[in-house]
Structure 1
Amino acid sequence: MSTQQHRATPVSLPPESAISGAYATTNLADAYSIELPPGASTNPELLARFIFSQQAPWVSSLMAVRDTVVGRFGLKTAKQLALLGAESTTGRVGIFRIYGTSPTEVILGEDDKHLDFRLSVLCSNQSSAGGKRHLTLSTVVHCHNRLGRLYILVIAPFHRLVVQSNLRRAARIGWPMATEA
């Protein structure tokens, strides 16, 4: 597998993504794309489940710190969201609620009193001119108040590191094959 298939590249928010117009105003919008190898699945929900189940241990540690801080402000913690996922037979990918699916995209996210966010896992089912297919993970956030804006200010640099790490780690482990969809 080429090094290129392990590189998560910052890209513009894909205009074909359902989250590109999710909010009238956004306080954070970013997208990262990674090359999918030949034969890899392009089932966006399968890939989302794979990405979020393969996170690096340091991400869990970071989430534990986050939970300790945000819990004091009455915000939803990852532990609370994971319990929702465990109780649900459908409708969640890890800690994220599923807001929509299509053959090429799954929209995940959560709403809370400080902000709402949507996360898109968008797959190119068709090979590009160079014969390469890509997965793009995009995030948009709409803050409701000062707490939300402060939260994003603090979290944004970590968010970007986590997204890129998740994509690189999934690529290194090896994407699910199309036969697994």
Structure 2
Amino acid sequence: MATPNHRVKLVSLPPESKISKAFASTNLADAYSIELPSRASTNPELLARFIFSHRAPWIRNLIAVRDAIVGRLGLKTAKQLTSLGEESEAGRIGAFKIYDISLTEIVLGGDDKHLDFRLSVYCSNQPSSGSKRQLTFSTVVHCHNRLGRLYIFVIAPFHRLVVQSSLRSAAQIGWPLATEA
């Protein structure tokens, strides 16, 4: 279901999100929100799978470049992580491990020697007074060493573009309906 409002807004981490307290300290924390149409699903797992399966081609190319670089540094590539999902589909969405699922949120992420990260797709099931239902995509990262801090410094601008583009693309394609959940 397409929505006329494809505006993605930078917002604070939702305080009720499980990732807001995932790490004692963070080197990156951001959240982007987009309005969900009234008939769209609020199933966070369905929405996460939808977002990650409808990425723009430039994002896939960017990930391929990232993998070529980080693979040489001994870090996990998206291809390696996705292959783990092929072995155990229930516990992953693409390259991301599922850490927690509730009625309003799915927490995904991964841990590596240079950093740990968590992603959240959080959905408001009911609109708050005078506002619309929102999907909020949040990210928190905790770095273990200089390599992690350097990595985040380099990829943070791309990360922000990828998240915003992914949310806009999902809205333009049309969110899954509540009946598809």
Same fold (TM over 0.5): yes
Instruction: Please give the residue correspondences for 1:66-145 in structure 2 after superposition, counting only pairs within 5 Å.
Output: 66-145=66-145
Q: Cα offset for 1:2?
A: 5.7
2:173 corresponds to 1:169:
no
CA distance in 2, matches of 1:2, 1:130: 18
2:148 corresponds to 1:148:
yes
2:57 corresponds to 1:57:
yes
CA distance in 2, matches of 1:152, 1:131: 34
Between 126-135 and 20-29, the greater mean CA deviation after superposition:
126-135
Aligned residue identity for 2:14: P
8 Å contact from structure 2 (residues 85, 94) kept in 1: yes
Give the CA RMSD over aligned residues.
1.0
Q: Cα offset for 1:89?
A: 3.0
Q: Which runs of 5+ in 2 are unaligned?
A: none
Aligned residue identity for 1:121: V
TM-score by length of 2: 0.97
TM-score by length of 1: 0.97
Aligned residue identity for 1:41: S
Give 2:18's aligned residue: 18
* Post-superposition CA distance 1:109-168 (Å, at most 9, x none): 000000000000000001122251000000000000000000000000000000000000
SS at match of 2:83: helix
Structure 1 stretches of 4+ moved >3 Å: none
CA distance in 1, matches of 2:14, 2:97: 21
Aligned length: 180
When residues 47 and 145 of structure 1 are mapped into structure 2, their CA distance, relative to the original with a 3 A threshold, is same
Give 1:7's aligned residue: 7
CA distance in 2, matches of 1:37, 1:69: 39
CA distance in 1, matches of 2:92, 2:80: 13
CA distance in 1, matches of 2:10, 2:89: 34
